[in-house]
């Protein structure tokens, strides 16, 4: 296999990390709006600290972000200049349904995304839409308790039906939930969960996960009823799990941790709960209620493709006395064979190839790489130009390994969109200084700056990569 002529090169963003305009044109308040930069952020996104509204002592980067809401035409023109074949972006649920449980959508919100989609199509860019990229209406948090409540499934069905019908004929690819496995690491950001004192947190999270599974399956069903040519994908925060040694206990621990991730795609791709997870949840006494109708909906509506984000790999040990570190909200131990980024993420290009093979071997469905990138501190000159050879080196090595997975190993990969083609707010830290883009945005961690866009060195490099369909990576 080789890269197909219609391979979908491009970039990916999320509404809450780039749009801003958090209360414009009838948009409602979302959970992601209330995640500040600074020391409170981790406690909030993990559901440990309850939030209801903004606190004047904090800065909330999602309020303005990079204001793509008012700059999307210029930004998409820059993407087109790079030669993008696809642009993955997300829809903010509260732009369409400000509270989440209304019957009638907000026309101004729909009109914004319609204009954004049309702008992409004008340049021949395929829109790839994430239906939920952590955005969740705060009204549904307060009134229904987030995704732990089955009623939310019906609100989601209403939301996605409106989207599918409005954009039918314009959008072919949709993802139901961004990095669905991150619910367990960031339950407020991933599922609108805030925990009460004494509550069984794990039980609440798995209730939420089950309801998201149902919502994803219903979304697939609704999409295919409206237009059978629509392709629906799940989305996994991926990365192969290494054992710390050849000790059988470490090998088994790596398998156990890998299953914790693959459980999410096992259900969405295969259409049923795997036996290993049923046994685990039964032992803990927290298996969600799974009705016969639930089983039918999951079984009859698997996703069409698997999309993944890939940033790093993880190393685990069965030795509970070994010190652990948090890497992208996931617990790992240091791998002595890998370098780290400025934010402590282990850099593993070959692990990307291994991960692609592992996912494809498991499911035998097309894979869409919808996030891969390097967060780094950039130092622009007076014109906003950045000599970001470190970013080029990172992406070059990862693309090489993706190509090897396709051309040598036979993995079916349909596209590759880098994370953050334009600088945006970091989901994990809320910082702007953790930059991913080919386009520099003049803005700091606390909202200061002109928002002026300027091309980095990597802009011209990625343009060449796309133009040669990945042949010229020099």
Q: Are 399 and 467 in contact (CB under 8 A)?
A: no
For residue 60, give every residue at least 6 positions away whose Cβ sits within 8 Å of its Cβ, in sequence order, or none. 33, 34, 35, 36, 37, 54
Cα gap 304→290, rounded to integer Å: 23
What Rg do the C-alpha atoms of the chain give, in angstroms?
21
Cα gap 443→426, rounded to integer Å: 13
Helix, strand, coil tally for the chain in percent (to 5): 40, 15, 40
**Which of 179, 358, 371, 431 is an active site residue?**
371
Q: Is 46 helix (H, G, I), strand (E, B) or coil?
A: coil
Q: 371 an active-site residue?
A: yes
Cα gap 429→41, rounded to integer Å: 7
Cα gap 270→2, rounded to integer Å: 27
Identify any residues that bridge with 193 across adjacent strands, giving them in sequence order: none
Q: Are 236 and 264 in contact (CB under 8 A)?
A: yes
Tally of CA atoms within 13 A in the half-sphere of 35 that contains its CB: 31
Identify any residues that bridge with 369 across adjacent strands, giving them in sequence order: 308, 416
Cα gap 184→107, rounded to integer Å: 34
Exposure b/e, 334-358, CB count within 10 A at least 16 = b: bbeebeebebebbbbbbbbbbbbbb
Neighbours of 249 (CB within 10 A): 13
* DSSP string computed for 59-121: B-GGGTTT-TTTTHHHHHHHHHHHT-SEEEEE--HHHHSSSS--SS--HHHHHHHHHHHHHHH
Cα gap 424→260, rounded to integer Å: 29
With the C-alpha atoms ordered 296, 299, 300, 303, is the resulting torsion angle positive or negative?
positive
Cα gap 208→264, rounded to integer Å: 12
Neighbours of 415 (CB within 10 A): 24
For residue 472, give every residue at least 6 positions away whose Cβ sits within 8 Å of its Cβ, in sequence order, or none. 464, 465
Exposure b/e, 65-83, CB count within 10 A at least 16 = b: bbbbbebbeebbebbbebb
Q: Are 34 and 44 in contact (CB under 8 A)?
A: yes
| Residues with catalytic function | 371
């Amino acid at each position: 296999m080789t890269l197909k002529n219609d391979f979908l090169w491009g970039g990916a963003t999320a509404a809450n990390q780039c749009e801003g305009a958090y209360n414009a044109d009838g948009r409602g308040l979302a959970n992601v709006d209330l995640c500040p930069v600074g020391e409170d952020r981790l406690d909030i996104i993990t559901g440990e600290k309850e939030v209801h509204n903004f606190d004047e002592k904090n800065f909330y980067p999602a309020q303005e972000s990079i204001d793509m809401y008012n700059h999307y035409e210029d930004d998409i023109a820059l993407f087109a200049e790079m030669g993008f074949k696809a642009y993955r972006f997300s829809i903010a649920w509260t732009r369409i349904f400000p509270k989440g449980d209304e019957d009638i959508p907000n026309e101004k919100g729909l009109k914004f995304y319609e204009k954004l989609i049309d702008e992409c199509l004008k340049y021949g860019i395929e829109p790839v839409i994430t239906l939920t990229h952590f955005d969740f209406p705060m009204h549904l948090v307060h009134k229904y308790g987030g995704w732990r409540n089955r009623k939310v499934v019906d609100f989601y069905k209403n939301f996605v039906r409106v989207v599918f019908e409005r954009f039918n004929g314009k959008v072919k690819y949709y993802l139901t939930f961004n990095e669905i496995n991150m619910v367990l690491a960031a339950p407020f950001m991933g599922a609108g969960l805030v925990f009460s004192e004494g509550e069984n947190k794990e039980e609440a999270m798995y209730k939420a996960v089950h309801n998201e599974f149902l919502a994803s399956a219903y979304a697939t069903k609704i999409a295919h009823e409206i237009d059978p040519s629509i392709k629906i994908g799940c989305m996994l925060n991926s990365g192969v799990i290494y054992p710390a040694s050849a000790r059988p206990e470490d090998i088994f621990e790596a398998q156990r941790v890998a299953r914790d991730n693959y459980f999410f795609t096992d259900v969405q791709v295969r259409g049923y709960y795997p036996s290993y997870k049923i046994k685990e949840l039964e032992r803990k006494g927290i298996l969600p209620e799974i009705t016969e109708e639930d089983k039918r909906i999951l079984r009859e509506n698997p996703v069409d493709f698997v999309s993944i984000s890939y940033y790093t790999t993880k190393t685990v040990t069965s030795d509970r006395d070994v010190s652990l570190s948090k890497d992208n909200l996931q617990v790992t131990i240091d791998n002595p064979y890998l370098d780290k980024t400025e934010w402590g993420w282990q850099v593993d290009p070959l692990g990307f190839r291994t991960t692609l093979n592992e996912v494809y071997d498991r499911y035998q469905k097309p894979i869409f790489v919808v996030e891969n990138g390097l967060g780094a501190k950039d130092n622009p000159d007076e014109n906003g130009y950045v000599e970001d050879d470190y970013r080029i080196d990172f992406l070059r090595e990862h693309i090489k390994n993706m190509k090897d997975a396709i051309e040598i190993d036979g993995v079916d990969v349909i596209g590759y969109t880098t994370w953050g083609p334009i600088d945006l707010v970091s989901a994990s830290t809320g910082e702007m200084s953790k930059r991913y883009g080919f386009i520099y945005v003049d803005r700091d961690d606390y909202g200061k700056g002109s928002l002026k866009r300027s091309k980095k060195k990597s802009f011209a490099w990625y343009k060449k990569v796309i133009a040669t369909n990945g042949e010229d990576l020099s």
